[in-house]
């Protein structure tokens, strides 16, 4: 979600997307076998590309996020509280979206299921075996077989283990290695985003072909309603209540952070707005620079409330549309997965969309429906990024108060 990740201007990118969408619609409506086949090839090619890079990107993002943020004894308590609050707020965002999803219950597209979809449905029945399979018997097989939960488990263990390596040279070497490999895949994803209009063309073409076969699009409004309400409730209810419980005025905090929230909304880049966020926090909220300049950059990387809500809602919605049974166990599992995935989200343009696509494609769940969601993602991204920055500000404000008040200092060290 950083502006610097792609040199193409926003206006040009919008034109490329618009052209891709138009060509996809024309291709899907044409009824010409050659054009339809071209759309299917582009769609399938991008699905394969996503599957190829999905596991490394997810794994390396989690490992690097956990391994890189080591603090000395003087700020170790701030690190612990930041991590605790980050996980807590992100988990809350995913939970809010889950509750809204169950309550609103978006209807399906009435897609034509293929044999592959039926296999997915059959594979979801053995939940005990499913959770046992999370524990890998081989590191490499988890990646080769695209077992998302196993890869996340391995990545969390690796990231935490690196932090506890006693030999400083060994720790630096291992961390540098994972940073380097992560940079490689980061660069690959930048190239992928640049050619994404080709994939969008394929997804839209395949989706239009499905429309021609009969599809109910009324549920799209319900899907977007879940995401937007999840972001608004998290930002306007959950986080303010948390601030009130910490005896902090949420309205005053919000007004002080308006400059940063405005930049975040229009730039769709939480990291791009980081300098403004730090400036507003230090100038308007009087947050200690020792807190703001450690907590806010850290939160910008791992505190993705909006991303967690989007990942949960999108993955569950697409799975539901392709015949996967959505049970309470499925919902609970994906609340956890969405939280972990959001924390390890790669900092690329449309990072949440890319990560959701990777998760789905890695499980062999068809993703053409995402081609319909993509044209509207720009608006969703604005709201998500604003929520991410607002949550970062809340975390920094709470930690600053605990760090600056003697009566609360003991609470920090607990």
Which of 96-110, 209-223, 327-341 has the lowest average pLDDT? 209-223
Which domain, by its residues, includes 113?
A: 3-412
pLDDT > 90 in the chain, percent: 19
pLDDT digits (tens, 9 = 90+) for 33-65: 888 888 888 877 876 776 677 678 767 877 876
Q: CB within 8 A of 305, min separation 6: which ones?
A: 89, 90, 92, 93, 231, 234, 235, 342, 387, 388, 391
Q: Is the pLDDT of residue 153 over 90?
A: no
Specify which of 253-257, 280-284, 407-411 reaches the highest per-range mean pLDDT. Answer: 253-257
Q: How far is CA 152 from CA 54, 57, 70, 134, in A?
A: 12, 11, 20, 9
Q: How far apart are CA 75 and CA 412, in angstroms?
A: 11
Residue 128 has pLDDT above 80, yes or no: no
Average pLDDT over residues 238-258: 94
CB 93 within 8 Å of CB 343: no
Q: Averaging pLDDT over each range in 115-119, 151-155, 157-161, which range is the top one?
A: 157-161
Q: Is the pLDDT of residue 248 over 80?
A: yes
| Confidence band, pLDDT 50/70/90 cuts, at residue 148 | low
Mean pLDDT confidence for 171-179: 89
Confidence of residue 109 (pLDDT cuts 50, 70, 90): low
Instruction: Please tell me what DSSP assigns to residue 234.
Output: I
User: Taking CA 353 as the corner, what is the angle to CA 130 and CA 213, rounded to the nearest 5 degrees?
Assistant: 80
- Give residue 193's pLDDT: 67
pLDDT at site 272: 64
Alpha-carbon span 244 to 289, nearest angstrom: 23
Say yes or no to pLDDT of 125 above 50: no
Tell me which H or E stretch contains 288.
Answer: none
This prediction has a pTM of: 0.66
- Between these two residues, 349 and 93, which has the higher pLDDT value? 93
Maximum average pLDDT range among 104-113, 151-160, 231-240: 231-240
CB 1 within 8 A of CB 270: yes
pLDDT at 116: 39
Output the pLDDT for position 115.
39
Most confident of the ranges 11-25, 83-97, 277-291, 301-315: 83-97
Sequential DSSP letters for 211-227: HHT----HHHHHHHHHH
Statement: residue 402 has pLDDT above 60:
yes
pLDDT tens sequence across 273-328: 777 788 889 889 999 888 887 788 778 767 889 889 999 998 898 888 877 788 88
Which distant-in-sequence residues (6+ apart) come within 8 Å of 407 by Cβ? none
**The pLDDT of residue 98:** 94
Lowest mean pLDDT among 240-244, 381-385, 390-394: 381-385
| CATH code for the domain in which residue 215 is found | 1.10.3860
State residue 347's pLDDT score: 45
The whole-number pLDDT of residue 135 equals: 77
Separation of alpha carbons 47 and 45, rounded Å = 5
In the prediction, which pLDDT does 123 show?
40
Higher pLDDT, 200 or 406: 200
Q: Over the chain, what is the mean pLDDT?
A: 77
Q: Mean per-residue pLDDT for 130-141?
A: 69
What six digits make up the tokens of 224? 């977007």
Does 259 score more than 90 pLDDT?
no
Helix 76-104 and helix 305-321, axial crossing angle in degrees, nearest 10: 30
Q: What is the mean pLDDT of residues 176-203?
A: 80
Average pLDDT for 181-209 = 78
State the number of CA atoms in the 13 A half-sphere of 411 facing the CB. Answer: 13
How many structural domains comprise the chain?
Answer: 1
């Amino acid at each position: 979600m950083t502006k610097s990740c792609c040199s193409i201007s926003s206006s040009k990118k919008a034109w490329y997307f618009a052209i891709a969408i138009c060509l996809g619609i024309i291709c899907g409506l044409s009824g010409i076998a050659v054009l339809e086949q071209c759309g299917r090839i582009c769609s399938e090619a991008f699905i394969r590309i996503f599957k190829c890079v999905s596991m490394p990107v997810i794994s390396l993002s989690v490992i690097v996020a956990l391994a890189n943020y080591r603090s000395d004894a003087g700020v170790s308590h701030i690190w612990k509280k930041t991590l605790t609050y980050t996980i807590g707020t992100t988990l809350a965002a995913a939970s809010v979206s889950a509750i809204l999803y169950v309550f609103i219950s978006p209807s399906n597209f009435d897609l034509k299921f293929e044999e592959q979809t039926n296999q997915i449905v059959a594979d979801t029945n053995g939940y005990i075996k499913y959770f046992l399979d999370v524990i890998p018997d081989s590191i490499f097989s988890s990646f080769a077989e695209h077992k998302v939960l196993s890869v996340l488990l391995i990545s969390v263990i690796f990231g935490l283990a690196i932090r506890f390596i006693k030999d400083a040279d060994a720790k630096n070497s291992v961390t540098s290695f994972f940073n380097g490999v992560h940079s490689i895949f980061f660069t690959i994803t930048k190239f992928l985003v640049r050619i994404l209009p080709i994939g969008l063309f394929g997804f839209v073409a395949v989706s239009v072909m499905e429309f021609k076969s009969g599809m109910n699009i009324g549920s799209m409004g319900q899907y977007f309603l879940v995401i937007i309400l999840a972001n608004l409730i998290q930002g306007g209810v959950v986080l303010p209540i948390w601030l009130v419980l910490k005896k902090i005025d949420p309205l005053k905090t919000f007004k002080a952070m308006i400059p940063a929230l405005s930049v975040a909304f229009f730039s769709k880049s939480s990291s791009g707005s980081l300098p403004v966020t730090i400036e507003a926090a230090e100038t308007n909220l009087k947050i200690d620079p020792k807190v703001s300049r450690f907590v806010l950059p850290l939160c910008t990387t791992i505190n993705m409330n909006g991303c967690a809500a989007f990942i949960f809602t999108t993955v569950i919605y697409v799975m539901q549309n392709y015949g996967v049974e959505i049970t309470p166990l499925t919902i609970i599992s994906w609340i956890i997965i969405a939280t972990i995935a959001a924390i390890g989200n790669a900092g690329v343009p449309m990072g949440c969309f890319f990560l959701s696509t990777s998760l789905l494609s890695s499980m062999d769940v068809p993703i053409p429906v995402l081609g319909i969601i993509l044209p509207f993602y720009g608006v969703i991204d604005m709201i998500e990024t604003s929520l991410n920055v607002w949550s970062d500000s809340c975390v920094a404000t709470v930690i600053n108060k605990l760090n600056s008040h003697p009566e609360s200092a003991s609470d920090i060290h607990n």
